[in-house]
Amino acid sequence: MVDWGAYTLVFVAGLITALATGLGAFPFFVVEDVSDRLNVALWGVASGIMVVASVLGLVPEGLAAGSWVAVAVGLLAGVLLVVLAHNYLVDADIDPQQYEEADFRKLVLILGVLTVHSFPEGIAIGVSFAELNLGTGIPLFGFTVPALAIAMTVAISIHNIPEGVAISIPLRSMGVSEWKMVGWSVFSSLPQPIGAVLAFAFVQFARPLLPAGFGFAAGAMIYLVASEFIPEALELGQPLDGHGYGELVGGFLAGGVAMVGLLAVV
């Protein structure tokens, strides 16, 4: 029998991360622009959180559930998914510093890329809930929620905030109202609750593939950090003193340490 309450919980977790993207538009309610220095630091924080969540959370969970071969296959499959997402929308350059010159078609392409890329993050959330009501966890809304699921939801929510900033920059230049900027930012992450539910359903009915599922989520997130977040931060940091390396490394360490602490606490 399908536990619709569990699916609702997973959907809500994915929806929380999508709504967090809208927070990226809120600085524009009070200021005209968000500084490159802050943006670089935020990308660093997001990168540190997601790498640590993958390396110390998803991969060990996968190894505990099965063989390293299955986890490795999942890792490669996760990387492949992100590569295909890149190739599907070829040459869509996610560069906030060029957004001021972006026309409507370019903006739609940018939103499309971010929307496609949000799906693997939803998968990571769904897979992290695989051990719901099994073993130890945090009592929440009548469920025993795995610590990894809470950590992953927090991590991706934080990561989505700078993405919301990136989406809001071109909308600001086009004269879009602040609340519509919030709406478009959330829209770009709506695949996350959908991906979360689909991934959760998959691992519930195909538990022998759970190790590969953990590896898949980790591979997708680590490759996103390497191919998207860090290059984006470095490009934003070019005009800064030290080209933004200090802000990026500082943010990465802060995010990584915070996630280690979160994994240890929950």
| Residues 175-226 pLDDT 10s | 778 898 898 888 878 888 988 898 888 877 766 777 887 788 788 878 878 8
Q: List the beta strands (DSSP E) in 129-257.
A: 138-140, 143-145
Say what the pLDDT of residue 48 is: 84
DSSP assigned state of 58: I
- Mean pLDDT, rounded, of the chain: 77
Say what the pLDDT of residue 73 is: 92
**207 to each of 60, 123, 149, 211, 218, how far by Cα in Å?**
16, 15, 17, 8, 17
What secondary structure does DSSP assign to 119-166, as a single string? HHHHHHHHHHTTTTTSSS-EEETTEEE-HHHHHHHHHHHHHHHHHHHH
Confidence of residue 108 (pLDDT cuts 50, 70, 90): low
Confidence of residue 96 (pLDDT cuts 50, 70, 90): very low
Say what the pLDDT of residue 76 is: 92
**Looking at the chain, how many residues does it have?**
266
Distance CA 27, CA 153 (A): 22
Residues 6+ apart with CB under 8 A from 132: 6, 9, 10, 143, 144, 145, 146, 149, 200
pLDDT of 99 strictly over 70: no
35-73: b (≥16 Cβ within 10 Å) or e: ebbebbbbbbbbbbbbbbbbebbbbebbeebbeeebbbb
Element spanning 93, H or E: none
Q: What is the pLDDT of residues 16-73, one digit of tens each?
A: 999 998 998 888 888 766 677 877 887 787 788 778 878 887 788 788 877 889 889 9
Distance CA 185, CA 183 (A): 5
Of 3-7, 88-92, 96-100, minimum mean pLDDT range: 96-100
Q: What is the pLDDT of residues 121-130, one digit of tens each?
A: 787 788 888 7
The domain containing residue 123 runs over which residues?
A: 4-265
Domain count, the chain: 1
Q: What is the pLDDT of residues 129-164, one digit of tens each?
A: 877 766 667 777 777 888 778 888 887 887 788 778
pTM (predicted TM-score): 0.64
